[in-house]
Chains A and B, each alone.
Chain A
């Protein structure tokens, strides 16, 4: 039997947490419509919440306060707008203010091509507020690392998932080339597209480094991250969320400030995501990343 997919890994971690660790999973419409893309096991500890987004998040945070380490499932990240208030206003503040933590694992699921209300990627908002740990795992091993990190710490955790990763069973590794012209930093679903773009550029004779960013907060500029940029002296951060005041701009700024090299951000345009093809404002795909790099290297 081969490596498990991301979806199977989530399901396995969840089952163990619920059956062996007195854990709890809360969310809306969990036990219907495919059990959240087949990522939720049929076992004890599942609470199907009524359609009460703000109260539902508050209930999850309350369960976290008393030590249940709940998994809180947000089927589409857009719904974090409502669910965010108990997370941002209470869970993320309580440890620093009162020394009492509220460790809730938020499975914030992103998607693409579902129009204006189901295609949002909102992890940047949670990077903005103090108190969260934020990451976006796209591989089975990364998901295990994310979960272990949550269990090791006592902070509310935003796990920015993407449906495009659920059937992925492969790990994604950095590629660093001796004579690369640019270093590409990729986040969330754009990681798969960045790998493709790097291949397209290489076919054109342009070598690129590709650095995969799973952690968004805390974001530490380690040698793994800085060294390739110090060589290429030019970088591009790609994210599936909005570019303005988003993860791509924030990380590009940090890289620029620390290394002194020029780093551009690439994310969604400052437009609403629409349903129809020309106006979807989709996450940067391989073609857009390719074109952006070409322009930067002119």
Chain B
């Protein structure tokens, strides 16, 4: 069931415009290299606060953000990828992680509560009760009728208020796309230990379209295109968290490395040169953002 190829539409990338493919990859690079800088900052003891890394899961918002730019975002605790993919300023995110007043929430909220209300982005986070963003997002859609995307994990999917809110969205025909970023882990407890049922089947039973796919960004793009005009809808996307639930440790390599798979795809598509240029540019800009001298100055160390 859960795998790097589950639900993939074969050769679908070939039907996408090259600019779209490169832009998805650029957004993945933003997340990967932003977080690489954050990890170095932890190792160098510039950053000593809770850190919920998105790396490994970055392909999902990187792909969806291209299609959902007019959606209000209600993100989960692992939200750096959503913030950066939808166009959030990485400098403000860095400053939020560092607890500086120039951060997204003036340094008051931190890694798992990121919000953004500028540059035409409306992104709300949550405050630590996993899945609480789902009823909030449904309420926002009820309140103003604008489309909403709710990101949450496979653990949050087990919160009763999540599927109660999903049911409410069906009853009131609200324009909400529910996205479960299913990394199979609640801290370290796997889905099969926690439950015998599928959240996708629950979504379908509630009366909305529901699908399971893996985090292949090209398939995610196509499926999002299909579902965004048929809301409410639910997508469960198998993905791999590269680091611990919180902080920078790992428990060995993840089940699959989507970033590397995407790079291989780009090679097959004859886009190696453009991809390499994109990756290097993004990496350099993120390295500047996390420059040690700059951090010392910012933190007055």
Contact = CB atoms under 8 A, between A and B. Distances in A.
Interface in B145-201: 146, 160-162, 164-165, 167-168, 171-172
B129 A85 contact: yes
B168 A90 contact: no
Interface stretch (B4-12, B120-128, B255-263): B120-128
Contact of B132 (A49, A67, A85, A98): A85
Contact of B136 (A49, A61, A93, A98): A61
A23 B165 CA distance: 21
B275 interface: no
Given A54-B160, A89-B129, A89-B132, A47 B142 contact: yes
Q: Contact size class for A?
A: 20 to 34
Contacts of A99: 105-106
Contact of B124 (A63, A65, A67): A65
A50 B167 CA distance: 9
Contacts of A50: 164, 167-168, 171
B274 interface: no
A223 to B, nearest CB: 36
A86 B136 contact: yes
A11 B258 CA distance: 57
B139 A97 contact: no
B195 to A, nearest CB: 19
B139 A58 contact: yes
B267 interface: no
B139 A52 contact: no
Nearest to A58: B135
Contact of B139 (A59, A89, A98): A59
A49 to B, nearest CB: 8
Contact of A98 (B115, B128, B140): B115
Which of A24, A50, A55, A90 is packed against the most chain B CB atoms within 10 Å?
Answer: A55
Interface in A87-114: 89-90, 93-94, 96-100
A97 B104 CA distance: 10
B49 interface: no
Contacts of B144: 66-68
A62 interface: yes
A62 B168 CA distance: 13
Interface in A61-87: 61-68, 70, 85-86
A282 interface: no
B139 A93 contact: no
A258 B129 CA distance: 38
A210 B72 CA distance: 51
A60 interface: yes
B43 interface: no
Interface residues of B, number: 36
B288 interface: no
Nearest to A59: B139
A113 to B, nearest CB: 31
Label chain B's interface by main secondary structure.
helix
A62 B164 contact: no
B113 A97 contact: yes
Contacts of B106: 99
Contacts, number: 114
Nearest to B162: A55
Among B104, B139, B167, the one with the most A-chain Cβ atoms within 10 Å of its Cβ is B139
Q: Which of B115, B124, B138 has the most CB of A within 10 A?
A: B124
B140 A66 contact: yes
A100 B135 contact: no
Contact of A90 (B126, B160, B167): B126
A66 B172 CA distance: 17
A94 B113 CA distance: 10
A58 B161 contact: yes
Contact of B168 (A59, A61, A64, A86): A59
A85 B162 CA distance: 14
B136 A62 contact: yes
B105 A98 contact: yes
B249 interface: no
A47 B113 CA distance: 29
Contacts of B132: 58, 85-86, 89-90
Given A93-B127, A98-B109, A100-B115, A65 B143 contact: yes
A19 to B, nearest CB: 17
A61 B137 CA distance: 9
A65 to B, nearest CB: 6
A97 B140 contact: no
A96 B108 contact: yes
Given A24-B143, A67-B143, A100-B115, A52 B136 contact: no
Nearest to B139: A62
Contacts of A64: 139, 143
A83 B126 CA distance: 16
Contacts of A49: 168
Contacts of A57: 135
Contacts of A89: 127-129, 132
B204 interface: no
B75 interface: no
12 contacts: A52-B165, A52-B168, A55-B135, A61-B136, A62-B139, A64-B143, A65-B136, A66-B144, A89-B129, A90-B129, A94-B127, A99-B105
Given A54-B160, A67-B144, 14 more contacts: A24-B143, A47-B142, A55-B168, A59-B136, A61-B135, A63-B142, A65-B124, A66-B144, A89-B129, A96-B108, A97-B127, A98-B105, A98-B115, A100-B124
